[in-house]
A and B are shown apart, each in its own frame.
Chain A
Amino acid sequence: MKRLSGRRGLRTLLLAAGAALALLPPAGAFSQSAVDEIAKYRQQLQDGNPAELWEARGEALWKTKRGPRNVSMEGCDLGKGPGVVKGAYAELPRYFADADRVMDLETRLVHCMTTQQGFSFAEATRRPFGAGSNRSDFESLAAWITSESKGVTMNVALSHPKEREAYQIGEKIFYFRGGPHDFACATCHGESGKRIRLQDLPNLTEKAGAQLAYTTWPAYRVSQGELRTFQWRLNDCYRQQRFPDLKFTSDASIALTAFLARNANGAAFNAPAIKR
Chain B
Amino acid sequence: MADPMRIRVAERDGVVNVRILMSHEMETGQRKDNSGNLVPAHFIRNVVATHQGRTVLSAQWGTAVAKNPFLEFSFKGGKKGEKIAVTWEDNKGEKRTDEAIIG
Contact = CB atoms under 8 A, between A and B. Distances in A.
B6 interface: yes
Given A56-B3, A56-B4, A57-B3, A50 B68 contact: yes
A57 B2 CA distance: 12
Interface string A167-196: 000000000000000000000000000000
Contact of B19 (A47, A220, A222, A225): A47
Contacts of B6: 52-53, 56
Contacts of A52: 6, 21
A220 B66 CA distance: 13
Given A47-B19, A225-B67, A225-B68, A53 B25 contact: no
Contacts of B3: 53, 56-57
Interface residues of A, number: 12
A26 interface: no
A132 interface: yes
* Chain A binding surface SS class: loop
A47 B6 CA distance: 12
B25 A48 contact: no
Contact of A133 (B4, B25, B68): B25
A47 B3 CA distance: 20
A133 B39 CA distance: 13
A48 B21 contact: yes
Chain B: interface size category: 10 to 19
A56 B4 CA distance: 9
B19 A50 contact: no
B4 A48 contact: no
B19 A48 contact: yes
**Which of A52, A53, A222 is the most central at the interface, judged by chain B CB atoms within 10 Å of its CB?**
A53
A274 B33 CA distance: 25
B67 A48 contact: no
Interface string A43-70: 0000110101100110000000000000
A50 B25 contact: no
A57 B6 CA distance: 11
Contacts of B67: 50, 225
Interface string B1-34: 0011010000000000001010101000000000
A132 B25 contact: yes
Interface string A131-165: 01100000000000000000000000000000000
Nearest to A135: B3
B70 A48 contact: yes
A100 to B, nearest CB: 38
Contacts of A132: 25
B72 interface: yes
Interface in A30-54: 47-48, 50, 52-53
A225 B23 CA distance: 10
A53 B68 contact: yes
Interface of B: 3-4, 6, 19, 21, 23, 25, 66-68, 70, 72
11 contacts: A47-B19, A48-B19, A48-B70, A50-B21, A50-B23, A50-B67, A50-B70, A53-B6, A53-B21, A56-B3, A220-B68
